Amino acid sequence: MKKELVVKNLHINFFSQNDDDFISLTDIAKFKNKETTGLVISHWLSTRYTVEFMGLWEQMHNPEFNVTEFRNIKNESGSNGFVLSSKGWIGKTNAVGIISKAGRYGGTFAHKDIAFEFATWISAEFKLYLIKEFQRLKEEESERKQLGWDVKRTLTKVNYKIHTDAIKTHIIPSLISAKKAGIVYADEADVLNMALFGKTAKQWRTEKKGEKGNIRDYADVRQLVCLANLDSLNAEFIRQQIPQSERLLKLNEIAVIQMQALVDNSAIRKLEKQ
């Protein structure tokens, strides 16, 4: 997914891949020279310090890094006429810290560790602004994800209230003690757990000793959406006075159908990216 930073009125693209962020060196290079970004990057890559830094980074993060070829490049770096391009570095060493992308939004991208190092070479002031803007954007992204998660959890809780109200009306006899009522609630909650997760809350806790929270705290977006639907359906089944064993079978069948339908649902994918 394409994302963008704005630093010193300069638009800088970046993207996330496998929980790592890659920032456009091509866009950063425009701060120095908008017409010859490729040469700017190549000049930086050709310095001995950069080659050593890049080699160290790759050895720390890339088990497939070609160390032999790196040593050959390192020995040549700093000599007269030595020039190293991003494509040459990637091709010879099997590097993963720099990525060369084609197309309209292409260019040379680098892992944020490397991109910040490149920004230092471009301008110390520019690097500081870049880091601050990147941190601000990541904090906002984290807050949006947290807000999205809270909304999803609230949706589940609202539906669960409908569910528990139905239990009070149609299952719990009058004058029952609060303790016994609590046991009934736990039992009905486990009907949903069994229908969707195939296990009770107690079975999950036994399997996940030491884990914080409960089985529903570890549900993904699809499971939370399905669970919200099952809450409402079970409440209606309870009002219809359908026996618990029959409800469990019905809910399980519905959970299977809904989870299959949600696998490739585009709206769910958008929720996951929030």
Q: 164-206, pLDDT tens digit by residue?
A: 566 455 443 344 355 644 555 557 788 888 888 888 888 888 8
What would the mean pLDDT of 120-141 be, rounded to a whole number?
Answer: 90
Residue 129 domain-assigned?
A: no
Residue 128 domain-assigned?
Answer: no
Rounded Cα distance between 232 and 86, Å, is 56
pLDDT at 205: 87
Instruction: Give the mean model confidence (pLDDT) for residues 98-121.
Output: 89
Q: What is the pLDDT of residue 78?
A: 79
**Confidence band, pLDDT 50/70/90 cuts, at residue 90:** very high
Phi, psi angles (nearest 5°) of residue 16: -110, 140
What number is the average pLDDT over the span 119-138?
91
d(CA 60, CA 181): 57
Q: Return d(Cα 100, Cα 109) in angstroms, integer.
A: 6
Please state the separation of Cα 99 from the chain's center in Å.
Answer: 20
Q: Over the Cα atoms of the chain, what is R_g?
A: 28
Strand order in the sheet with 20-24: 3-7, 10-17, 20-24, 107-111, 98-101
Residue 4 backbone phi and psi in degrees, to 5: -145, 140
1-12, pLDDT tens digit by residue?
568 888 888 999
Distance CA 234, CA 248 (A): 9
Domain boundary among 91, 122, 153: 122
- The pLDDT of residue 12: 92
What are 215-229's pLDDT values in tens digits?
888 887 778 888 888
> Domain check: are 116 and 158 in the same one?
no
Looking at every residue in the chain, the average pLDDT score rounds to: 82
Whether residue 234 has pLDDT greater than 80: yes
> CB–CB of 53/45 below 8 Å?
no
146 and 204 part of one domain: yes
Same domain, 111 and 205: no
133 in a domain, yes or no?
no
Contact in structure between 162 and 149 (CB atoms under 8 Å)? no
pLDDT mean over 257-263: 75
**Cβ pair 156, 92 in contact under 8 A:** no
SS3 for 253? helix
Whole-number Cα distances in Å, 165 to 153, 158, 181, 246, 257: 19, 11, 12, 20, 26
Structural domain includes residue 134? no
Q: Are residues 153 and 269 in the same domain?
A: yes
* pLDDT given for residue 172 in this prediction: 37
13 shares a domain with 80: yes
Domain endpoint, select from 63, 90, 122: 122
Contact 114, 58 (CB under 8 A): no
Domain that holds residue 217: 141-273
Q: Do 145 and 269 belong to one domain?
A: yes
More reliable by pLDDT, 233 or 19: 233
What total number of domains does the chain contain?
A: 2
Among residues 122, 155, 175, the one where a domain terminates is: 122
Average pLDDT on 238-266 reads: 80
Query: Do residues 231 and 159 make contact, with C-beta atoms less than 8 angstroms apart?
Result: yes
Question: Quick check: 197 and 204 in contact, CB under 8 A?
Answer: yes
Most confident of the ranges 81-90, 100-109, 210-219, 222-231? 81-90
Residue 136, in any domain of the structure:
no
| Phi–psi pair at 195, nearest 5 degrees | -65, -40
Quick: pLDDT tens for 15-51: 888 888 999 999 999 999 999 999 999 999 999 999 9
- pTM of this prediction? 0.52
